[in-house]
Structure 1
C-alpha cells in the first residue's frame, strides 16, 4: 500500500493547501502503523507467539497475576498456555498433573486420598495428596513449592517430593499430621 493512500482519497483542490497536507500526513503515518500491524492482531491472544509482555498480561485474564518476567520466556508462555487449558481442572488431580508437568518438565506422580464419594463412603481420610517430581525444572525449589501450594485446594493436606527429598509447601499441612489436623474441634485438646 502506498504511503499516501489517505491523501489520495481527498479532492485535488484540498491537496493545494500545504499546511492541510502536512497536518493530514500525521494521521496518515499513524494509520500506516496500524495497518502494518493489523495482520498480527489475531496472534496477540496466542501466548505462544505474542510478545512476552502480552503473554504475561494474557495470564492476568485467567487469574495468573504474577508470571515472573525473570523466568525463561518459554516457561512464561508454557505457564500461561497451561493455565488457560487446565483452568476447568484447577484444584483437581488432572490440573495438578498438568501444572507440575509444565513446571518440572518431566513426569509427575500424584497420589491422593480420593475424589467424589457417595454419602458415607469417603473413607477415613480423603483430604490429602502426595506429589512427586524428579526436578523443579527451571524454577528454584522455593518458587516451585509456592506455585504448587497456590494450586492446592485449601482443605487438602499435601506433601511435595522432589526426587527423594520432601520439600515444604507454605501453608500446607503435611499428611503425617492428619490425625491432629482432622480431629473435630474439642477432641484431643
Structure 2
C-alpha cells in the first residue's frame, strides 16, 4: 500500500507543470520595473525584456519588448538560450567623473541582477540588468574571458510605441 501511495505522489508531482523562473529588477524608488520574459514560457528559448513604469500604483508598459541576442563568429546567443540561474537583485552605487558639463564628480545608484545563460553548445552568456530611478540599462558579458571574441551580429532591438511621450535632445554635429 505504501508503494502505491509513493507512486501516486510521484505521478502527481510530475504532472505539475514546471514554471520558468521570473526575473524582475526594480528601481530603488519602485517606479521602473524591468522583467525578463521567455517567449516560449519555459527556461529555454528566445528572451526579451519588458520595461514598465509604476506611477501611484498605476503601471504602464513603456517598452513592451526589447529583443535580446547577439552572434559571435564562433557562437550564437540569439535563440535556444537556457536560463541557468539568476542572481538576487543587489543595490549598486557608482562614482565617476565627467569630462564636460556643469559638474565633474557624479554618482548613480540603482539595482542590478545578473542572469546566467547557456546556449545549445554549452557556451555561457551573462545578462546584467540594471534599473535606476530615471531609466534602465543592460549589457552582455561573456564569462569565458580567455582569448578574444568577434561579434558577428548584434540582434538587440526595440520599438517605442508611438503613443509614448518622449523627449530628445537636439544635437548638431
Q: Give the alignment's TM-score, normalised by structure 2.
A: 0.27
Whichever structure has more strand as a proportion of its residues is 2
The structure whose RCO (Cα within 8 Å, separation 6+) is larger is 2
Computing the radius of gyration over CA atoms, which structure comes out larger, 1 or 2?
1
TM-score by length of 1: 0.26
